[in-house]
Amino acid sequence: MTTQKDSNTDETCPAQALLKTLAGKWKPEIFRLALNGPVRFNTLLRQIEGSNKQSLAVALKELEASKLLNKEIVNEKPLHIEYTLSATGQSLIPIFRQLETLQ
């Protein structure tokens, strides 16, 4: 028996793919905090209750790999890393703002 692919699978539905990308632990909160501009790792660690270094680092790497966040090494003293929304991430701002109004 052959099965037919549903037209709304992750491979064909952009909304499903986005939800899958943002579904990981801490990712929605990271994205929300980055909406207001560059954020540093330690700032995220302090502001996301219950987070830890390892899980936060994994979530940031996945958001960067999915092209929603940019990672920039800022060559100032002290040397630090800032995360900002990429162009793709910025294109999602109106969606997140709309979701905020639903609360």
Domain count, the chain: 1
Is 89 part of a structural domain of the chain? Answer: yes
Which range among 43-47, 59-63, 74-78, 84-88 shows the weakest confidence by mean pLDDT?
74-78
pLDDT tens-digit map of 80-93: 999 999 999 999 88
Q: Which domain range does residue 33 map to?
A: 14-100
Is 4 part of a structural domain of the chain? Answer: no
- The size of the chain, in residues, is 103
Model pTM score: 0.79
Give CA–CA dist 77/89, Å, rounded: 28
pLDDT tens-digit map of 71-83: 999 998 888 999 9
Q: What CATH number is given to the structural domain containing 83?
A: 1.10.10.10
Is 1 part of a structural domain of the chain? Answer: no
Q: How far is CA 14 from CA 11, 21, 32, in A?
A: 8, 10, 20
Give CA–CA dist 13/7, Å, rounded: 8
Is 7 part of a structural domain of the chain? Answer: no
Is 5 part of a structural domain of the chain? Answer: no
